[in-house]
C-alpha cells in the first residue's frame, strides 16, 4: 500500500523525546515541496534523548532504517517512507522511531 515519502521536513524522534536530525545525501536532485527526499543510508543523529539505565545516561544516538521503498529511488538509493522502520540505536538497543511526515502528497510503495 502506498505511503508518504519522507523528506527533510519530516519530524523524526526517538520514543524518549530525542529529536533526529539528518544530513541528506540527496541535496540537489530529488525534492518534494522544496525539501530533499530522504534515502535509506542518510545519516540520522539523535539529540536530547533522556533514556537512562539505573540512573546512568544511555541515550539513543542514531537511526538505522529498514524497509525502504521498493520502487522509488533517489541517486540510486531507495527512498524512505512513513512505513519504513527506523530503529533508534544507543543504550536502549533498537527501539522504533516516531515519524511524522513532512508531506503527504507524494506516495510510493
Helix (H, G, I), strand (E, B) or coil at 35: strand
User: What's the mean per-residue pLDDT of the chain?
Assistant: 94
Q: What is the pLDDT of residue 29?
A: 82
Residue in this structure with the C-alpha cell 520502487, named with its chain if needed: 71
Q: pTM to 2 decimals?
A: 0.92
pLDDT band with cut points at 50, 70 and 90 for residue 26: confident
pLDDT tens digits, 36-83: 999 999 999 999 999 999 999 999 999 999 999 999 999 899 999 999
pLDDT band with cut points at 50, 70 and 90 for residue 106: very high
Report strand pairing: 52-53 vs 56-57.
antiparallel
pLDDT band with cut points at 50, 70 and 90 for residue 87: very high
Per domain, the residue ranges of the chain are 3-108
Neighbouring residues of 7: CB distance < 8 A, sequence distance ≥ 6: 31, 32, 33, 35, 36, 37, 38, 101, 102, 103
**Quick check: 92 pLDDT over 90?**
no
Percent of the chain with pLDDT over 90: 88
The CATH number of domain 3-108, selected from 2.60.200, 1.10.760, 1.20.120, 1.10.390: 2.60.200
> What is the C-alpha to C-alpha distance for residues 77 and 55, in angstroms, rounded to an integer?
40
Amino acid at each position: 500500500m502506498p505511503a508518504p515519502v519522507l523528506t527533510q521536513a519530516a519530524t523524526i524522534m526517538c520514543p524518549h523525546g530525542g529529536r533526529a536530525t539528518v544530513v541528506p545525501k540527496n541535496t540537489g536532485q530529488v525534492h518534494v515541496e522544496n525539501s530533499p527526499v530522504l534515502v535509506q543510508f542518510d545519516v540520522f543523529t539523535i539529540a536530547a534523548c533522556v533514556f537512562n539505565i539505573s540512573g546512568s545516561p544511555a541515550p539513543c544516538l542514531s537511526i538505522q532504517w529498514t524497509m525502504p521503498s521498493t520502487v522509488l529511488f533517489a541517486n540510486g538509493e531507495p527512498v524512505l517512507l512513513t512505513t519504513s522502520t527506523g530503529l533508534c540505536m544507543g543504550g536502549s538497543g533498537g527501539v522504533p522511531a516516531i515519524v511524522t511526515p513532512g508531506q503527504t502528497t507524494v506516495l510510493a510503495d
